[in-house]
Amino acid sequence: MRKIELNPATDLVLDRTVDVSPELVWKAWTVPKHLMPWFCPLPWKTIECEIDLRPGGKFYTVMQSPEGQKFPGTGCYLEVTPNERLIWTSALGPDYRPNEAVENHPTFTAILTLEKKGSGTRYLVQALHSSAAIREMHEKMGFEQGWGIALDQMVAYLKSI
């Protein structure tokens, strides 16, 4: 598996170890009915999800705010290595077609790496951005806190199924 070098000026990272297996974490990221319960920090909800799990495949979600506003997002999978690594981007839609830019929404590529650690998983997310300004926008939107809360929700969900 190719190591992706991080650029601290443009990239954000969440690196934690969780006490669920890589296989369960993979299921939570790749099966819509298992992604929707935890994907965004409550009281936000994920109300739709479509996953075509292959390079070039569609990753689509609709998040809903507590006030009822809907925020659709369409991305494209770039790499799918079961139980180990998932790479997707919001810059591209299905079949690698460029997405239109959305105002005030950062475009990024996400790399999720799962590594078995005892009975748990090292959970590493790298969010790659085109510029320091886009990275800063994503950071100010609450990347670390939001992705951290979603991870905690995912672990709780996986322990409940």
pLDDT given for residue 150 in this prediction: 97
pLDDT given for residue 34 in this prediction: 98
Instruction: Find where tokens 């079961």 sit.
Output: 82
2 pLDDT exceeds 90?
no
Average pLDDT of the chain?
A: 95
pLDDT band at residue 106 using 50, 70 and 90 as cut-offs: confident
Q: Which two tokens stand for residue 33?
A: 């009915």
- Residue 42, classed as helix, strand or coil, is coil
Reported for 152-156, long-range contacts at CB under 8 A and 24+ positions apart, including other chains, are 153/37, 153/38, 153/41, 153/42, 154/25, 154/28, 154/38, 154/39, 155/18, 155/19, 155/20, 156/38
Q: Which two tokens stand for residue 38?
A: 């935890």
* 136 secondary structure, DSSP code: H
Q: Give pLDDT tens digits for 70-100.
A: 999 999 999 999 999 999 999 999 999 999 8
Structural domain boundaries of the chain? 11-160
What is the C-alpha end-to-end distance of the chain, expressed in Å?
A: 31
- Peptide bond preceding 43: is omega within 30 degrees of 0, i.e. cis? yes
Residue 37's Cβ-side half-sphere holds a number of Cα atoms within 13 Å equal to 15
Instruction: For the domain made up of 11-160, give the CATH fold.
Output: Alpha-D-Glucose-1,6-Bisphosphate; Chain A, domain 4 (3.30.530)
Q: Give pLDDT tens digits for 7-58.
A: 999 999 999 999 999 999 999 999 999 999 999 999 999 999 999 999 999 9
